[in-house]
Structure 1
C-alpha cells in the first residue's frame, strides 16, 4: 500500500471497519484499521473502552494525554492505546499527522500488550514499522468474508510487530530520567534551555521535570547547574584557561555571574579554588 506524503487540505481517512464481526468470546478481534491524513482540527477523546491500538506516525506531530502522561508523538514514532485507559490525542495545527493504525481487542490482545510492553509505556521513538503496517492493512483491504481466518492472521502480524518493537526497545533501553541526564551531560557547556530538552526527547516540560525529580531528587535545571560547577572545577584545577575563558566555555553570561554561581555552590571564589583547591579533600585532589 502506498501512502502519499502530501497532506490533504481537509481531514481524510482510509478505514477498514470490522465492528460488525466482533465476537466477545474470540481471543482476538480486529475492529478498525486505516490511514489518517489529519488536519489541524483533528482531535480524539475516549472514555475507557475495550480496545487496544498502536499508531505509526509517517509525518507531522501532535499530543497524546494518557494515564497522567503528556506525550508528543511525531514522525517515526509509535504510540499505544490500552484497554480501559481514558485518553485524548490531537494533531498539531501547523504540522498535522499522517499516520497508519489498527485497533483490536480480546484476551490475546491483552496478553500480547502485557508481554511486550511495560505497563507505563505509551510511546516509542524512531521505530519504523511502516512496512509491516502497510502489509497488514493491504491484507485487511482484501477481506473475503472469512473473519475468523482474517482475525487469526492479523493476530500473528500484530504479534510480530510487537516483538519487533520490544526487541528494538530492549537493545537500547534507558529510562527517561537516564535519557535526560545523558542529554544534559552532553550539553553541559552550552547555553541550553529546557525547551530544547523537551524538543529532543518529545515530552512535555512538566513530565520531564517530574520524572527527573522523582529519580534524582533535583530538577534538570539544578542538575545542569551542578554539572557546570563540576566542569568549572576541572578547568580551574587542570587547565591553564583564565577564569574569563572558563566562564565563556561554560556559557555563563559573563565572568561576574560565573563568579557568583561558583561561590554560591562551593563557598570559594574561582580564584581561591584554583589557588587552594588541591589542598581540599575534594574528588579532584586530596590534601597532601
Structure 2
C-alpha cells in the first residue's frame, strides 16, 4: 500500500491532532491492529469504496465523499473493496473537548456520514489535514487548533443530532390548538392543515383529539369561532357584510354568506335586521 503516517506532539489538553495519515489500500485490505481506539480517528474517503461497521451497528458500504469515525473505546471494522479499494486520509484527535463537540452531531451515534464532499465541514476538515503537514511552529499550532474547532462547528451545524420530540399530553395539545384557532381565525390562511403542521400531527389524530375533547371536528370548531364572531359584529357594528366576512377569515362575501346561512339559518343581512335595535 502507498501512504503516509505521522505522529504529532500534544499541544493542547482540550483539542489536539495526535496523528494523521493517508493510504491507498490494496483490494480487500483491512486493519489488523487493535480495533478499539484510545482516541477519535476521522477517515475521509477520497476515492474507491469499502465496508465499515462499529459495535451494535450493521455494516454499511461507503464510497468516495463519505466519512467514518473510529470513536474512542468502540470496536470497529473496516475493509477495502475487492475491486475498487478505497483511498482515504485520517486524522487522530484527542482532548477533553473532542467527545463533547462530537456529541452535537449525528456522527456520534451513526459513526458515518454519506456524501459530505460539498459541505463546509468537509472543506474545513481538508484544511485541517493540510495544516497538520506544516512545520510545528506557534502560528501553525494556533491555526491547527482553530481549524479543529471550526471543523466541529460545521459538523454540529450541518449534521446536528436529531433531538427526540417532546411528547405533549392530549390536554396540552388541545390547549395549543384552541389558542391557535382563536388567535388566527381572522386570517384566511388559518386552516386545519396549518394547525396540523403546527402541532406536527396528522389530520386523523387532530380529529380524534377534538372529538374526545369537544365532540366535534376541528373544522366545525373553527367555523363556530368564525360564525359566532360574525354574529357579534353583525349585531354590534356598522361594518358591511363584505368587511365582516374578511375580518373573520373569508376571502369573499359569497362564500361567507353561504357558510353563515348554513350555520345560523339566516343570511347575514336578515340576521342583522332581526338583531338590530
Give the TM-score taking structure 1 as reference length: 0.48
Unpaired runs of 5+ in structure 2? 165-277
Q: Distance in 2 between matches of 1:163 and 1:38?
A: 30
Residue 110 (str. 1) matches residue 99 (str. 2): yes
* Residue 61 (structure 1) aligned to one of 49, 55, 70: 49
Structure with bigger gyration radius: 2
The 4+ residue runs of structure 1 with deviation greater than 6 A are none
Q: Tell me the CA shift for residue 41 of structure 1.
A: 4.3
C-alpha RMSD of matched pairs (Å): 2.8
* Residue 28 (structure 1) aligned to one of 4, 15, 20: 15
Tell me the residue number matched to 1:80.
69
Kindly indicate whether the alpha-carbon contact (under 8 Å) linking 1:28 and 1:151 is maintained by their aligned counterparts in 2.
no
Describe the SS at the equivalent of 2:132. helix
Kindly indicate whether the alpha-carbon contact (under 8 Å) linking 2:23 and 2:89 is maintained by their aligned counterparts in 1.
yes
Describe the SS at the equivalent of 2:72. coil
Residue 43 (str. 1) matches residue 35 (str. 2): no
Q: How many residues align?
A: 159
Give runs of aligned pairs for residues 175-254 of structure 1, distance below 5 A.
none
Q: Distance in 2 between matches of 1:113 and 1:169?
A: 11
Q: Tell me the CA shift for residue 80 of structure 1.
A: 1.4
**Per-residue CA shift, 1:157-209, capped at 9, x if unaligned?**
123223323333359x799xxxxxxxxxxxxxxxxxxxxxxxxxxxxxxxxxx
Give the TM-score taking structure 2 as reference length: 0.50
Kindly indicate whether the alpha-carbon contact (under 8 Å) linking 1:40 and 1:91 is maintained by their aligned counterparts in 2.
yes
Describe the SS at the equivalent of 1:132. helix
**Per-residue CA shift, 1:195-236, capped at 9, x if unaligned?**
xxxxxxxxxxxxxxxxxxxxxxxxxxxxxxxxxxxxxxxxxx
Q: Tell me the CA shift for residue 109 of structure 1.
A: 1.2
Kindly indicate whether the alpha-carbon contact (under 8 Å) linking 1:53 and 1:103 is maintained by their aligned counterparts in 2.
yes
Q: Distance in 1 between matches of 2:98 and 2:135?
A: 20
Q: Distance in 1 between matches of 2:148 and 2:28?
A: 29
* Residue 167 (structure 1) aligned to one of 143, 149, 157: 157
Unpaired runs of 5+ in structure 1? 1-10, 176-288
Kindly indicate whether the alpha-carbon contact (under 8 Å) linking 1:127 and 1:165 is maintained by their aligned counterparts in 2.
no
